[in-house]
Amino acid sequence: MTKIPIIIDTDPGIDDAMMLTLAFANEDALDVRLVTTCSGNISQDKTNYNARSFLSYIEANVEIARGLEQPIFRQLEVAEDIHGESGFGNVQFPMPKLPVSKRPAITAMLETILASDEKITIVATGPLTNVAALLLAHPEVKANIERISWMGGAAVGGNMSPSAEFNAYVDPHAVEIVFRSGIPIVMSGLDVTHKAFVTVEEAKNILAIGTEFAEKAYHLVTYYLDVIKRTPFHEENYDQVLHFHDVCAVMYLLKPEYFKGQDCYVEVALEGVTAGATVVDYTNRSGKVPNVHVLHTVNREEFVSEFMKAVVTISDKLK
């Protein structure tokens, strides 16, 4: 099997950790060349520490580079109310063995992309600040980027405002830069990620694996339940499902047949009460050329099965 060379840009974050689990459990299919950290769910200090701590724990061997501290034009807004002060709820991982790269994220991304004989896919599961900065400063990399698989945005409804998803809301200007880049983009927005859930009963199967890693993974994802109960709004069956938003961005690369979507023209609102809203032209009324492949449906049962396999793979690796 030919491996897909990827760079992962992430802001760990509970579901980011689950995304990293899936990515590093499938090293036969994915060649992770670099991990960079963005500011989003928590501050850059914490996201970089968490990436190094988690990836050290699962015995990954990868460079981890520190990204930008703030969105391009806005003040950083974090989601500690969702992910906990540390970003990992109540779960602790050992001190990281993996060091902070001597290269800042933008330099590391640039050099990794230009040095590759194959086109690189970027998996982004946080605000697009680092990716946008790379494209602005070094447009020459575009020719060697296969695609950007991003968890973010929403065609209908948001989770940060009535119309904006969190990652898009945090840095909408970065979204605009990336969407106008001409690079193929796959958007795993809330429309599909809200369908990519694990039920509370299914989550118990993680715990039943019986390893230390599986126990930590279970307590990570079930931390959401206590958080959701404290929020002023509840979705249907809020106390029975756990959403694995960021996992979709990697799962699509591994199992594109699990998903359905369509090519659409998408713009992002930059200011005001709609800032961060990703406006998806499903009916092509704008007449503009589609710039994003927007996912809207997932085979949930297959999604869950594949994720469970990843937890078992990492568990077996750490025995």
- 202-226 pLDDT, tens digit per residue, is 999 999 999 999 999 999 999 877 6
Per-residue pLDDT, 239: 64
Domain ranges of the chain: 4-317
Q: Judge whether residue 237 has pLDDT over 70.
A: no
Averaged pLDDT of the chain = 94
Non-local CB neighbours of 183 within 8 Å, separated by 6+ positions:
135, 142, 145, 147, 148
Query: Domain 4-317 belongs to what topology?
Result: Inosine-uridine Nucleoside N-ribohydrolase; Chain A (3.90.245)
In this prediction, residues 46-72 reach a mean pLDDT of 97
Of 301, 232, 297, 289, the residue nearest 264 (C-alpha): 289
- How many CA atoms within 13 Å lie on the side-chain side of 79? 27
Alpha carbons 174 and 179: distance in angstroms, whole number: 9
Per-residue pLDDT, 227: 65
Alpha carbons 165 and 278: distance in angstroms, whole number: 8
| Positions marked active-site | 245
Of 8, 250, 28, the residue nearest 112 (C-alpha): 8
pLDDT digits (tens, 9 = 90+) for 256-306: 999 999 999 999 999 999 999 999 999 999 999 999 999 999 999 999 999
Output the pTM of the full model.
0.95
pLDDT digits (tens, 9 = 90+) for 126-151: 999 999 999 999 999 999 999 999 99
